[in-house]
C-alpha cells in the first residue's frame, strides 16, 4: 500500500518487503510467509512513527530533481523486474545495471538526463565497454542494454518521473556480422567418432545436439519424462543454467544451478528424431535405465544426460566434456553453439524449408532463421532454379525453306 512499504510474492514463492528509511535509503528483506513480512512492516511503522518514510524515498531523494538514475534502477529492479521476469533475465538486468549503467550514469538525476549524454553512453560502450578494457560491447549486448533501459525508463515515465522516454531516440552502431563456426561434414564425422570413443556415456549428447540443434541449457535440462520413444519425438520445455545467487537465504554460494522453463514460448517445442538417432538413443536409454534399476537413487531427476555418478549436468560441466570431445576429434575453434549452427546448416543443405527449421530451432519466426543462415541457401537456390528447367517449353526448331524478304 502506498506510504506503508511494499510486500509482494516472487516467482520463487518467497515474500519480499521493501521500505525506505528516514534518510531515503531503500531496504529489502525476505520472508517465507506473508504474515511474517506483514508483522515486520507493522513493527517498522511503530519504530519510525512516520509511515510515509517506509513506502517511498525521503524528500532528500526527490529534491530537487527526483531520484538519481542509480537509485531508480535499484527500485525498478526490485519492484518491477524481479517479481515479473525469469530469474535468468533478472540476473542479466542486475549485472548490466551494476557493471555498465551505475558507473557511468548512476549519479545523474533521472529527470536531468539529456539525449546527448545517453547517446554518448551507448557510443562509449560500443567502443570501450568491455570490463577488461579491451574493446567494446557486442551489438547483441548493446541491444539488450538498450531494451532494459527502455523498460525501466518507460516505467519511470508512467510513474511521472520522466516526461518522455529518451531511450527511444538512441541509435546503436551496427557491427559487421560475425561468421558462424559451422563444422564441415568431415569434422562432423570425426566428432561423432570421437564422442563414441569417449569414456563418458553422456558424450552421446554432442551427437544428439548435432541432429536436433538444441541449446546447451536445453540439453542439460532434457528429462526422460519428456521423451516419447513410441512417437520418436521429445518436448523441449526446460532449461538448466547456472546463475548468480540473488537468494538471501543461500549464503554459501555466489551462484546457483536453476531449472526453469525455456527461453521463450517459441522455445517450447516438439523435436523429432531421425531413425538413425532414434536407434542410438534407444541403446543409450537401455544402458542408463539398467543402471537406474540397479542403483536406486541414481539419476533421481531422470535427466537424459547425466554424469557418471548420476548427478545432472549443468552447462559449465557439460562444456568441459564437449571440449574434450572436440580435442579428441582434432577440431579447432568450435564452441557448443557451433553444433546448433551445424544442425541448421545441414538441414538447409538437405532441403528443409526455413519455416520448419525455425520451429525446430525454437525461433520466433522464419525471418530470424533466414537472417542467421541465409548463406546456406546459395547452393539450394541454384539447384532449385535448375528444377525450373523441367517446366521450360522447348524451343521450336525454325522452319526450313527459303528466307523471304518483305
Between 18-32, 55-69, 202-216, the lowest mean confidence (pLDDT) is in 55-69
CATH of the domain at 287: 1.10.443.10
CB atoms within 10 A of CB 376: 20
* Cell numbers found for residue 211: 541432429
Q: Are 156 and 240 in the same domain?
A: no
Q: Please, which residues have CB within 8 angstroms of residue 166's CB and are 6 or more apart in sequence?
A: 113, 114, 115, 118, 153
Phi/psi at 256 (nearest 5 deg)?
A: -135, 150
- Write the pLDDT tens digit of every residue in 216-240: 999 999 999 999 999 999 999 988 8
Banded pLDDT at 255 (limits 50, 70, 90): low
Reduce the DSSP state of residue 255 to 3 states and report it: strand
Residue 50 has pLDDT above 80, yes or no: no
395 in any annotated domain: no
Contact in structure between 203 and 287 (CB atoms under 8 Å): no
CATH of the domain at 156: 1.10.150.130
How many alpha carbons fall within 13 Å on the CB side of residue 52? Answer: 2
C-alpha angle with apex 179: 132 to 215, nearest 5 degrees? 80
Q: Are 83 and 50 in the same domain?
A: no
Q: Are 195 and 280 in the same domain?
A: yes
Domain that holds residue 78: 67-174
| Residue 1, pLDDT score | 38
109 in any annotated domain: yes
| Residue 122, pLDDT score | 95
Q: Are 59 and 71 in the same domain?
A: no
Q: Are 237 and 267 in the same domain?
A: yes
Q: How far apart are CA 369 and CA 385, in angstroms?
A: 22
Question: Based on the structure, what is the number of domains in the chain?
Answer: 3
Residue 262 has pLDDT above 80, yes or no: no
Q: Among 122, 142, 174, where does a domain finish?
A: 174
Task: Kindly state the average pLDDT of the residues 20-36.
Answer: 71
Complete edge-to-edge strand list for the sheet that includes strand 15-20: 6-9, 15-20, 26-31
Contact in structure between 191 and 326 (CB atoms under 8 Å): yes
Residue identified by cell 528466307 is: 403
Q: Greater confidence, 242 or 305?
A: 305
Phi/psi at 383 (nearest 5 deg)?
A: -65, -40
With helix as H, strand as E and coil as C, how does 46-59 read? HHHCCCHHHHCCCH
180 in any annotated domain: no
405 in any annotated domain: no
28 in any annotated domain: yes
325 in any annotated domain: yes
Q: Are 85 and 59 in the same domain?
A: no
Q: Are 194 and 321 in the same domain?
A: yes
Q: How far apart are CA 167 and CA 177, in angstroms?
A: 24
390 in any annotated domain: no
Q: Among 63, 95, 115, where does a domain finish?
A: 63
Q: Are 13 and 74 in the same domain?
A: no
Reduce the DSSP state of residue 98 to 3 states and report it: helix
11 in any annotated domain: yes
| Residue 101, pLDDT score | 96
What's the whole-number average pLDDT of the chain?
84
Cis peptide before 316 (omega within 30 of 0): no
Banded pLDDT at 58 (limits 50, 70, 90): very low
Q: Are 121 and 13 in the same domain?
A: no
Q: Are 145 and 252 in the same domain?
A: no
Q: Which of 215, 217, 218, 98 is nearest to 148 (CA)?
A: 98
Q: Are 348 and 361 in the same domain?
A: yes
Contact in structure between 60 and 24 (CB atoms under 8 Å): yes
Model-wide pTM > 0.75: no
Q: Greater confidence, 164 or 387?
A: 164
Q: Are 347 and 240 in the same domain?
A: yes
| Residue 161, pLDDT score | 92
Amino acid at each position: 500500500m502506498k506510504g506503508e512499504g511494499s510486500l509482494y510474492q516472487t516467482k520463487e514463492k518467497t515474500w519480499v518487503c521493501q521500505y525506505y528509511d528516514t534518510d531515503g535509503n531503500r531496504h529489502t528483506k525476505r520472508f517465507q510467509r506473508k504474515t511474517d513480512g506483514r508483522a515486520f512492516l507493522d513493527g517498522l511503522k511503530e519504530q519510525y512513527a512516520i509511515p510515509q518514510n517506509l513506502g517511498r524515498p525521503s524528500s532528500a531523494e526527490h529534491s530537487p530533481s527526483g531520484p538519481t538514475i542509480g537509485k531508480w534502477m535499484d527500485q525498478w529492479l526490485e519492484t518491477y523486474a524481479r517479481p515479473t521476469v525469469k530469474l535468468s533475465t533478472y540476473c542479466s538486468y542486475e549485472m548490466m545495471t551494476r557493471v555498465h549503467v551505475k558507473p557511468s550514469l548512476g549519479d545523474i538525476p533521472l529527470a536531468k538526463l539529456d539525449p546527448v549524454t545517453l547517446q554518448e553512453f551507448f557510443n562509449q560502450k560500443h567502443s570501450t565497454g568491455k570490463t577488461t578494457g579491451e574493446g567494446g560491447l557486442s551489438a547483441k549486448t548493446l541491444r539488450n542494454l538498450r531494451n532494459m533501459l527502455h523498460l525501466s525508463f518507460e516505467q519511470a515515465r508512467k510513474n511521472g518521473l520522466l516526461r518522455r522516454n529518451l531511450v527511444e531516440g538512441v541509435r546503436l552502431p551496427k557491427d559487421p556480422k560475425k561468421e558462424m563456426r559451422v563444422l564441415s561434414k568431415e569434422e562432423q564425422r570425426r566428432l561423432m567418432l570421437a564422442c563414441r570413443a569417449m569414456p563418458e556415456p553422456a558424450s552421446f549428447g554432442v551427437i544428439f545436439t548435432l541432429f536436433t540443434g538444441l541449446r546447451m541449457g536445453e540439453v542439460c535440462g532434457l528429462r526422460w519424462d519428456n521423451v516419447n520413444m513410441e512417437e520418436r519425438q521429445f518436448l523441449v520445455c526446460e532449461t538448466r543454467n547456472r546463475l548468480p545467487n540473488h537468494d538471501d537465504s543461500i549464503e554459501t554460494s555466489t551462484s546457483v544451478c536453476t531449472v526453469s522453463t525455456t527461453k521463450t514460448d517459441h522455445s517450447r517445442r516438439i523435436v523429432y528424431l531421425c531413425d538413425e538417432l532414434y536407434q542410438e538413443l534407444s541403446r543409450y536409454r537401455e544402458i542408463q535405465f539398467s543402471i537406474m534399476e540397479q542403483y536406486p537413487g541414481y539419476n533421481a531427476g531422470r535427466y537424459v544426460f547425466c554424469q557418471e555418478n548420476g548427478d545432472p549436468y549443468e552447462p559449465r560441466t557439460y562444456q568441459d566434456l564437449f571440449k574434450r570431445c572436440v580435442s579428441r576429434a582434432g577440431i579447432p575453434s568450435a564452441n557448443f553453439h557451433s553444433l546448433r549452427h551445424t544442425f541448421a546448416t545441414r538441414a538447409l543443405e538437405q532441403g528443409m524449408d526455413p519455416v520448419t527449421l525455425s520451429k525446430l530451432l525454437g525461433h520466433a519466426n522464419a525471418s530470424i532463421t533466414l537472417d542467421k543462415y541465409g548463406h546456406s541457401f546459395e547452393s539450394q537456390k541454384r539447384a532449385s532454379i535448375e528444377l525450373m528447367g523441367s517446366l521450360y517449353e522447348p524451343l521450336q526448331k525454325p522452319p526450313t525453306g527459303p528466307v523471304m524478304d518483305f
